Amino acid sequence: MRKITIGKIPGKKELLEKLVAGAIPIKFCYPDEGGDKWDELRGNKKYFLGDREYKSLIRNLSKIKLSEPTNILHLGPGNGIEIPAICSAFDFKKHAYFGVDISQRMIENMICYHNLELANIKYSLFILADLESKGVLSEICNLAKKKQHQNNLLLITGQGVLCSNPLFLRYVAASLDKNDLAFITIEGDDLQRRKEILQTYNLREVENLLLVGLRRADIGNGNFLPTLFNEDIHQAEKYFETDSGEKILCLSSYKPSSDRQFEVTLRERGLQAEFIDYFPQSHTYATLCRRSENV
Ligand SMILES: C[S@@+](CC[C@H](N)C(=O)[O-])C[C@H]1O[C@@H](n2cnc3c(N)ncnc32)[C@H](O)[C@@H]1O
């Protein structure tokens, strides 16, 4: 399997700069042993969030009709749990697959678990990159077009955390040409089920993943605080409090509160929804977007 790196993968210096502002973005947790911690979390049956977003993916993949050979760019594939669904939805004799992740370990795990499906893809490329770094996604999208086809489809599934960074969806919009598409699945908020939604982030496996970032920043003793919901910006937030009383934001995950709110957020970032599907049973959204005409 071919693998390349695009841009710079942020290291300890960048982590400490973020820490000064009181946060450890989760992207610092995924590399190295973090890839295995994600695996443990994704395999936990009580990680209901992953299951909800996966159901939304299955429910909506068949709505994406690709008339031309397309580069399918899977952003943050994790351990590849979505690979079987993606491979049965698209004909990879015709389309090309690009897997993009910040974590080398994650890519290795995915290749190891899904070797057989990946071997049946005619063209695949794995790219190690930080998608929250300006210009990187546009560079990846241009590279895909140079290497393979003239249309791109971005798959952004189970990425509430990435979408809580307002810059990320702007980078997505900036990377799309007129005929390109972005498909997003995301768990939403539901006032009636808020407790259950927030509970997921209190799982021991989530905390073990976040501890990777805290250790990397040399943060020692302390405790995680119960996950909160920030109504102003529609996101779940999880803090760690050190023994000296310092509060560090370790996780924030965007949760649209309605179709309308999701649509407004997409529009503000430069994306125009072709459809938004809401699945009430699992309070998840799926949308297929294009770049707004006025961007
Ligand atoms: C929450 S997991 C979702 C994985 C998969 N889509 C799923 O639902 O199981 C997030 C994935 O995105 C990757 N990721 C997070 N931040 C990233 C960034 N800034 N650049 C590239 N990949 C990132 C992580 O390494 C991880 O594989």
Tens digits of per-residue pLDDT, 107-145? 999 999 999 999 999 999 999 999 999 999 999 999 999
Q: How many domains does the structure of the chain reveal?
A: 1
Helical ranges in 114-163 per DSSP H: 115-119, 136-147, 160-163
Structure tokens given for 208: 């073990």
Give domain status of residue 136, yes or no.
Answer: yes
Q: Is the pLDDT of residue 293 over 90?
A: no
CB 37 less than 6 A from any atom of ligand 1: no
Which domain does 173 fall in, by range? 47-189+257-291
Give domain status of residue 42, yes or no.
Answer: no
**Residue 295: its pLDDT value, please?**
62
Give domain status of residue 178, yes or no.
Answer: yes
CB 35 less than 6 A from any atom of ligand 1: no
CB 187 less than 6 A from any atom of ligand 1: no
Structure tokens given for 291: 């770049």
Question: Which CATH number is 82's domain given?
Answer: 3.40.50.150
Tell me the β-bridge partners of 127.
4, 100
CB 52 less than 6 A from any atom of ligand 1: no
Percent of the chain with pLDDT over 70: 100
Mean pLDDT, the chain, rounded, equals 96
Distance, CA 104 to ligand 1 centroid (Å)?
Answer: 11
Give domain status of residue 286, yes or no.
Answer: yes
Distance, CA 132 to ligand 1 centroid (Å)?
Answer: 11
Give domain status of residue 248, yes or no.
Answer: no
Give domain status of residue 145, yes or no.
Answer: yes
Tens digits of per-residue pLDDT, 174-215? 999 999 999 999 999 999 999 999 999 999 999 999 999 999
Distance, CA 103 to ligand 1 centroid (Å)?
Answer: 8
Give domain status of residue 18, yes or no.
Answer: no
Tens digits of per-residue pLDDT, 148-162? 999 999 999 999 999
Dihedral of the alpha carbons of 103, 288, 236, 211, in degrees to the nearest 10: -10
CB 157 less than 6 A from any atom of ligand 1: yes
Neighbouring C-beta atoms of residue 163, cutoff 10 Å:
23
Shortest-distance Cα residue to atom 16 of ligand 1? 27
Q: State the pTM of this model.
A: 0.97
**Residue 220: its pLDDT value, please?**
79
Cα–Cα dist 178/36, whole Å: 38
CA distances for 83 relative to 72, 113, 275, angstroms: 12, 10, 23
Which residue's structure tokens are 């299955």? 58
Which residue's structure tokens are 């980078």? 171
Structure tokens given for 212: 């990777």
Give domain status of residue 4, yes or no.
Answer: no
Tens digits of per-residue pLDDT, 205-255? 999 999 999 999 999 799 999 999 999 999 999 999 999 999 999 999 999
Shortest-distance Cα residue to atom 27 of ligand 1? 78
CB 106 less than 6 A from any atom of ligand 1: yes
